[in-house]
């Protein structure tokens, strides 16, 4: 274990002894490990549901103008921190040839906007002409989140038909699909003219990362449940039934996520540091427990078995991920037989985690997620530390000797990469002019390398280190930057790593062997996604809010008990 003392999260007091016991960044911030993360109770969906449950929030249908086939508009309103937020949904016919997950799509089964407050009739008329256009529409500061979704070809109509007949959908189909609709984008933070994040950042629980986006997705999930029930009733008023509570909990919202999300982990280094640091702090707190309570022992066994059932229901056609799941299943079953050997010993959590040290990364990180789940209230408070209002900043007075020391001590991984090898200088990241989305090009065969985005961190570190050799160690950074302004960006990042040790992914992100899917899974695990289903090393399908309580169940005492959902 690392004995290095790291600075605390912004505005958070984390001064207990466990701060000395964090796993080192050199272990945590590797792509293969980040690409093995599982959701935890610190994930953003879990944080939102806890807040909604704490407030006893209720959902109201304030407008339902859908025809018998489910086409039209609807408004669902919920209160959070005493303020109303409304999902405005528009549904329309869509031909099969126009249905696609790709970001270049121009038509969808349904389009959405999360509205700040309750929309007036004038708002609904205005937005009816804009929201179905998505990026091409015109919006105001009243609109907080923009999204769209397509029906599941396999499940949506099946559910409607079965409910109309008075029976529940087939369990195997529900289990294998897991959602009625799949979003292809959820836009927030001022994109395409909607409200900037600053509008909600001081609204209590919405100040946390992606809370407003997660609220929109939760309401979309509620809408899809109500939509299939509505169509079924219209189809057969006398025999139609509602979805069972079990099916409603299991049916989340599908999502297709690609390269557009990957650079986020690089372009927001302080924020990512805070996410990882909160997670690693939670791990350290649990490892430091000399003993666990009787309730925690019982929960440990139950969660172990739930995880096992979850793994059995996790299916993917991706050969690499399927192999990883197969290994994980075998290792998890073996670990299950050893629980009783450690559960009553001193430092039982630390012993359990140590048992995974020689096993696969998937198994190691699943155990990490499980022990965080046991933490309850003492872990949940760390969610308040996961935001950031601080950007990487330049320290112009730093002596070059200290800058060199940071490179030597914290960026040694970058200095080891041989960029004279074409495979290590293989890709370049750029932004698509058509969709303003990140893309990955091949440096030696594709045009556009001159517009490369600054994700080549390791390469920039090497160039800086070479330039620093020609300068006096006592010279300050300001003088160096005046002579070499091209290094301002990377110097700022390196200086930031001194106080944000988990801010850098310690891999070559332009190498031929770089798998962007690892960055996607890392970020999506913090959202709370599970059952990752990669379609290549550049995009994946996931399910959001699977297992979460529905709006009618938010006041239940077990509303927060939905880690790694299973269909029973």
List pLDDT tens digits, range 113-123: 999 999 999 99
Rounded Cα gap, residues 235 and 227, in angstroms = 12
Percent of the chain with pLDDT over 70: 95
CA atoms in the 13 A half-sphere facing the CB of 51? 26
Rounded Cα gap, residues 251 and 261, in angstroms = 24
pLDDT of residue 342: 85
pLDDT of residue 103: 62
List pLDDT tens digits, range 55-86: 999 999 999 999 999 999 999 999 998 899 99
pLDDT of residue 20: 66
Per the CB < 8 A criterion, the answer to whether 75 and 88 are in contact is yes
9 pLDDT exceeds 90? Answer: no
Q: Report, in this order, helix, strand and coil percent for the chain, each rounded to 5.
A: 45, 15, 40
433 pLDDT exceeds 90? Answer: no
Closest to 269 (Cα-Cα) out of 509, 494, 4: 494
Lowest pLDDT segment from 71-80, 334-343, 420-429: 334-343
Q: How confident is the model at residue 191 (pLDDT cuts 50, 70, 90)?
A: confident
List pLDDT tens digits, range 32-41: 999 999 999 9
List pLDDT tens digits, range 284-311: 999 999 999 999 999 999 999 999 999 9
Q: How confident is the model at residue 438 (pLDDT cuts 50, 70, 90)?
A: confident
pLDDT of residue 101: 66
pLDDT of residue 13: 45
Task: Classify each residue of 209-239 as buried b or exposed e, where b means 16 or more C-beta atoms within 10 Å of its C-beta.
Answer: bbbbbbbbbbbbbbbbbbbbbbbbbbbeeee
Lowest pLDDT segment from 11-20, 194-203, 246-255: 11-20
Q: How confident is the model at residue 99 (pLDDT cuts 50, 70, 90)?
A: confident
Please state the rounded mean pLDDT for residues 442-454. Answer: 91
2 pLDDT exceeds 60? Answer: no
Mean per-residue pLDDT of the chain: 92
6 pLDDT exceeds 60? Answer: no
Rounded Cα gap, residues 424 and 225, in angstroms = 48
Per the CB < 8 A criterion, the answer to whether 563 and 303 are in contact is yes
* 114 three-state secondary structure: strand
Whose structure tokens read 């988990």? 502
Q: Give the distance, in angstroms, between the CA of residue 516 and the centroid of all CA atoms in the same chain.
A: 14
Rounded Cα gap, residues 106 and 94, in angstroms = 11
Please state the rounded mean pLDDT for residues 468-474. Answer: 94
């Amino acid at each position: 274990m690392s004995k290095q003392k790291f600075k605390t999260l912004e505005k958070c007091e984390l001064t207990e002894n466990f701060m000395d016991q964090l796993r080192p960044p050199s272990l945590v911030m590797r792509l293969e490990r980040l690409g093995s993360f599982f959701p935890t109770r610190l994930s953003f969906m879990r944080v939102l549901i806890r807040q909604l449950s704490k407030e006893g929030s209720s959902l109201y249908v304030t407008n339902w103008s859908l025809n018998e086939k489910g086409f039209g508009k609807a408004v669902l309103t919920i209160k959070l921190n005493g303020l109303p937020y409304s999902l405005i949904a528009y549904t329309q016919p869509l031909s099969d040839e126009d249905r696609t997950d790709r970001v270049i799509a121009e038509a969808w089964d349904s389009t959405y906007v999360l509205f700040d407050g309750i929309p007036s009739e004038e708002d609904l008329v205005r937005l009816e002409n804009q929201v179905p256009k998505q990026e091409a529409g015109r919006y105001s500061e009243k609109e907080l989140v923009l999204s769209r979704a397509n029906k599941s070809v396999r499940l949506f109509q099946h559910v409607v038909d079965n409910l109309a007949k008075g029976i529940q959908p087939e369990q195997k189909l529900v289990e294998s699909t897991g959602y009625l609709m799949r979003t292809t984008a959820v836009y927030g933070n001022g994109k395409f003219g909607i409200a900037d994040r600053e509008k909600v950042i001081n609204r209590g629980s919405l100040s946390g990362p992606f809370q407003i986006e997660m609220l929109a997705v939760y309401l979309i999930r509620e809408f899809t449940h109500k939509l299939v029930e509505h169509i079924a009733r219209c189809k057969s008023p006398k025999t139609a039934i509602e979805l069972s509570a079990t099916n409603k909990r299991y049916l989340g919202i599908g999502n297709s996520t690609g390269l557009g999300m990957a650079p986020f982990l690089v372009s927001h280094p302080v924020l990512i540091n805070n996410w990882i640091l909160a997670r690693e702090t939670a791990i350290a707190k649990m490892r430091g427990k000399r003993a666990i309570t009787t309730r925690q022992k019982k929960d440990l066994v139950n969660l172990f078995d739930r995880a096992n059932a979850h793994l059995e229901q996790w299916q993917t056609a991706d050969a690499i991920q399927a192999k990883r799941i197969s290994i994980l299943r075998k290792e998890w079953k073996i670990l299950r037989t050893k629980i009783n050997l450690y559960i009553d010993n001193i430092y039982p959590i630390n012993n359990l985690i140590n048992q995974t040290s020689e096993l696969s990364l998937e198994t190691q990180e699943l155990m990490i997620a499980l022990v965080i789940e046991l933490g309850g209230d003492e872990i949940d408070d760390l969610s308040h530390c996961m935001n950031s209002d601080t950007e990487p900043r330049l320290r112009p007075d730093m002596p070059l000797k200290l800058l060199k020391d940071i490179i030597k001590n914290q960026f040694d991984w970058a200095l080891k990469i041989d960029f004279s090898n074409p495979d290590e200088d293989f890709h370049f990241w750029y932004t698509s002019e058509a969709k303003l989305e990140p893309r990955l090009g091949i440096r030696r065969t594709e045009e556009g390398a001159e517009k490369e985005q600054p994700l080549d961190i390791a390469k920039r570190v090497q160039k800086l280190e070479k330039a620093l050799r020609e300068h006096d160690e006592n010279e300050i950074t300001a003088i160096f930057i005046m002579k070499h302004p091209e290094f301002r960006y990377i110097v700022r990042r390196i200086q930031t790593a001194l106080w944000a040790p988990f801010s850098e992914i310690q891999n070559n992100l332009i190498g031929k062997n770089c798998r962007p899917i690892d960055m996607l899974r890392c970020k999506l695990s913090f959202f709370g996604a599970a059952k990752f289903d990669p379609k290549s090393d550049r995009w994946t399908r996931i399910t959001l809010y699977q297992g979460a309580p529905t709006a009618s169940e938010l006041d239940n005492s077990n509303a927060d008990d939905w880690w790694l959902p299973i269909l029973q």
